[in-house]
Amino acid sequence: DAGITQSPRYKITETGRQVTLMCHQTWSHSYMFWYRQDLGHGLRLIYYSAAADITDKGEVPDGYVVSRSKTENFPLTLESATRSQTSVYFCASSDGTSGGHEQYFGPGTRLTVT
C-alpha cells in the first residue's frame, strides 16, 4: 500500500529553469492538493483539484502550473523557477473536504532554486 508519494524528494535547480514535481496516490481519492511550507509560515495552498481535469487556484498560485489528466497523478510545474520558490512542497489527497474527510500528505519535496 504505497499511499501518496512524491518525487523527487530533493531538487536543486537554477533560476529560470522549468521543473516538475510529481505526486501519485493509490487510493483513488477525488481531491488532490499542492502546498508549500516556508519557515515561519503555515502551509499555503498553491492549487487543488476536485477531480481529473478539474483544477483551481489556491492562495499562492502565481508561477505554478498544474494538470490532472489521471485521478492518481497531480504534477506541479514551475515554468521558470525563481529563488522565492525555494521551499518544501507537499502534495495531499482526500476523498472529500468536509469534516469527516482526512487530508493525507506526502513526504514532501525540498526544492532549492539557486
Partner 1 sequence: KNQVEQSPQSLIILEGKNCTLQCNYTVSPFSNLRWYKQDTGRGPVSLTIMTFSENTKSNGRYTATLDADTKQSSLHITASQLSDSASYICVVSAYSRGISGGYNKLIFGAGTRLAVHP
What residue has cell string 482526500? 94
- How many residues sit in the footprint of partner 1 (CB under 8 A)? 28
**105 burial type by CB count under 10 A (0-12 exposed, 13-18 middle, 19+ buried):** middle
83 by DSSP, 3-state: which?
Answer: helix
Contact characters 23-52, partner 1, x per CB under 8 A: --------x---x----xxxxxx--x-xx-
Contact characters 61-90, partner 1, x per CB under 8 A: -----------------------------x
Using CB under 8 A, pick the residue from 1, 2, 62, 98 that binds partner 1. 98
